[in-house]
A and B are shown apart, each in its own frame.
Chain A
Amino acid sequence: MIKNYIIAKDIIEADKLLKETKGRVIAGGTWIRFAPYIETVIDITRTGLDYINKNGVYKIGATTVIENIVESELLKKIAGGVLNKHAGFFYPFTLRNLATVGGNIVPYFPLSDLAPVFLSLDAVVETTKKTYSFYEFIKLSRRSIGKEEILTSITIPEYTENFISSSFRFSQLKNEFAWITGIVNIITENSVVKDSRIVISACTRRPTRLKTLEEKLKGNKITDGFLSEVRKHVGELKLILDRRSSIEYRKIVIENLLVNSFLELKKYAG
C-alpha cells in the first residue's frame, strides 16, 4: 500500500528522491494502483517533461499524455501520422488524457501501442542515466526504468527521404489490448526499397523486427514473389500464447495483415 506520495519539482529532485526512497516513479499513474507492494511513489508530472517539439529531430517528453500525441500536428508529419494513429488505438479517450507516453513504453511491452512504432522509427530513449536506442531499451529489464533511472524523453529522427508507412492493429474490441500490432515502414529510391522496418508486436514478448525480411526487401520492389516470402518469414516469430487465441490463428492473421500492408505500400512505391 502506498504510504508516501511525493510530487517532484524537477527531474533532478525526482532522481534524488528515487535513490533515497527506493520508491517508484509515476506520471499517469494508471497502473500503480494495481501494484500493492509499492510504498513510495514519486509523481513526475510537474517536472516539465510534458512537451512535443522539433529541433532537427522530433522530441517527446516522457510525461506527455497519449491524447496530446493523437492530436499533435507536428507528429502527423512523421510517415503520414503513424504515431498519432497508434496513439489513437489506446482506449478509452478518457484514459488517453491521463496515461503518458513514458508509462506506455516502460512497464509492459507486449501490450504497448506505441513501443512498436518507436522501434519502427529508430527512436532513441533518454533517461537520467544514459541514452539508448529503442532496440537496446526494449531489451532492458522492465523494472530498471522508474526504479534506478527515469525515462525523460523519446527522440525520433527526421525522415526527409521518400518515407511511407502502413500499419495495423488487430483485436476483437476497440477497448481491448491489441492481439497483434504490425508496422511496415519503407524508404524508396527510384521505385526500389532502399531501407525498411517491419515490426510485429503484442503477440511477441517484445516488439520484434523481421530483419531477414527487411534484408530481402532491400534494393528490390514489392513483387508477388516477395509477398509469398512474407508468409514464410512470419514463421520465424516467437509468438506468445494467451487465452484469447491460438498461435496458429495469430500466424494466419499476421500473414494476411502484413501482405495487406505491403499491397498498400506497393500502390505508392510502384
Chain B
Amino acid sequence: MQVKFTLNGKEVAFEVKPYEILLDTLRNNGIYSVKRGCETGDCGSCVVVIDGRAVPSCMVFSLKVSGRSVLTVEGIGDLNSPHILQKKFAGTAAIQCGFCTTGIIMTMYSLLLKNKILSLDEVKNLLNGNLCRCGSYKEQLKVFIDITTDEKSS
C-alpha cells in the first residue's frame, strides 16, 4: 500500500505494509535520527512531531499519517542553520551518547510550538516520556528553560 504525507516540508510517497510502523518507514527511507528504543512508546527516542504534536513513531501505523505533516529533527534545522534547540544542545553538555537527543529535541520543539509559559515542574512532567540513560536531564532542562526565558525576556 502507498502512503503520502509531508515529511519535513516535502511531499513524499512510500510503499508500506499495512502493519508497518512509522519508525520503520522513516528509517527505511533514510531518516536515521528517529531511533529504535523500547517500541512501546515509553522511552521517547523515536519521537517525531505530527501536525504539531510530539508522538512516539513506534506507536503510529505508517498509514495513519496519510495526508499529515511529519517533522523529524532533520526538518527543523541543519548544520548551516541549526534550530536554537540544536544549537544549545550542541553548545552545552546536554548531549552525551546522543541516542535520546533527537527525541528530546522533538518533544521540546512541540512544547515551544504551544507558545505557553511552562514551569520547571511542568516541563519535567512533559518530558517524563523521554529517557536518557546517560542522565543528562539537568543540562537538557536547562537548555529548554534558557530558551523559554530568553524568549520571554525578548
User: Could you tell me the distance between the alpha carbons of A67 and B116 in the complex, rounded to whole angstroms?
Assistant: 15
Q: How far is the CA of A59 from the CA of B1 in the complex (A)?
A: 36
Question: A-B pairs with CB below 8 Å: how many?
Answer: 74
A-B contacts, 20 listed (Cβ < 8 Å): A2-B18, A3-B19, A5-B1, A5-B19, A7-B64, A7-B66, A29-B59, A29-B61, A30-B59, A33-B21, A41-B61, A43-B61, A43-B64, A65-B53, A67-B53, A92-B41, A92-B128, A93-B107, A97-B54, A98-B41
Query: Are B128 and A29 closer than 8 Å at their CB atoms?
Result: no
Interface residues of B (CB under 8 A from A): 1, 18-19, 21, 41-42, 44, 47, 53-56, 59-61, 63-64, 66, 107, 125-130
The reply on A95 being an interface residue by CB < 8 A is yes
Residue in B18, B42, B125 whose Cβ sees the most chain A Cβ within 10 Å: B18
Known A33-B59, A94-B107, A98-B56; 18 more pairs at CB < 8 Å: A2-B18, A3-B19, A5-B18, A5-B19, A5-B61, A33-B19, A33-B21, A41-B18, A43-B64, A91-B128, A92-B44, A92-B128, A92-B130, A94-B41, A94-B44, A94-B55, A95-B55, A175-B42
Determine if A171 is an interface residue (Cβ-Cβ < 8 Å): no
* Chain A residues whose C-beta falls within 8 Å of the C-beta of B41 in the assembled complex: 30, 92, 94-95, 98
Instruction: Tell me the bound Cα distance from A33 to B20 in angstroms.
Output: 10
Contact with B along A23-36 (1 / 0, CB 8 A): 00000011001000
CB neighbours (8 Å) of A98 from chain B are 41, 55-56, 59-60
Whether the Cβ atoms of A2 and B66 lie closer than 8 Å is no
Q: Is the CB of B126 within 8 A of A93?
A: yes
Q: What is the minimal beta-carbon distance from B120 to any residue of chain A, in angstroms?
A: 15
Q: Which of A154-189 contact B (CB under 8 A)?
A: 174-175
Least CB distance, A90 to chain B, in whole angstroms: 11
Tell me the nearest residue of chain B to A174, going by C-beta. Answer: B128
Size category of the binding interface on chain A: 20 to 34
> Is B63 in contact with A93, judged by CB distance below 8 angstroms?
no
Distance, CA A92 to CA B40, complexed state (A): 11
* Closest Cβ–Cβ distance, residue A34 to chain B (whole Å): 8
B126: chain A residues at CB < 8 Å are: 93
Q: Is the CB of B18 within 8 A of A92?
A: no
Nearest CB in chain A to that of B127: its residue? A93
In this complex, the member of A33, A91, A93 whose beta carbon has the largest number of chain B beta carbons within 10 angstroms is A93
Shortest Cβ distance from B49 into chain A, in angstroms?
A: 9
Given contacts A29-B64, A175-B42, A175-B129, contact A94 B54 (CB under 8 A): yes
Q: Is the CB of A45 within 8 A of B18?
A: no
Indicate if A228 sits at the interface (CB-CB under 8 A): no
- Chain A residues with Cβ below 8 Å from B42 are 92, 175
**Is A4 interfacial (CB 8 A cutoff)?**
yes
Collect the chain B residues with CB atoms within 8 Å of residue A65's CB: 53
Which residues of chain B have C-beta atoms less than 8 A from A95's C-beta? Answer: 41, 55-56, 59, 129
Closest to B114 in A: A71
Please, how many angstroms separate the alpha-carbon atoms of A82 and B18 in the complex? 38
- Residues 86-122 of A, flagged 1 when their CB comes within 8 A of B and 0 if not, give 0000011111011000000000000000000000000
CB distance from A96 to the nearest CB of B (A): 9
When the two chains form the complex, which single residue of B1, B18, B63, B129 contacts A94, counting CB atoms closer than 8 Å?
A: B129
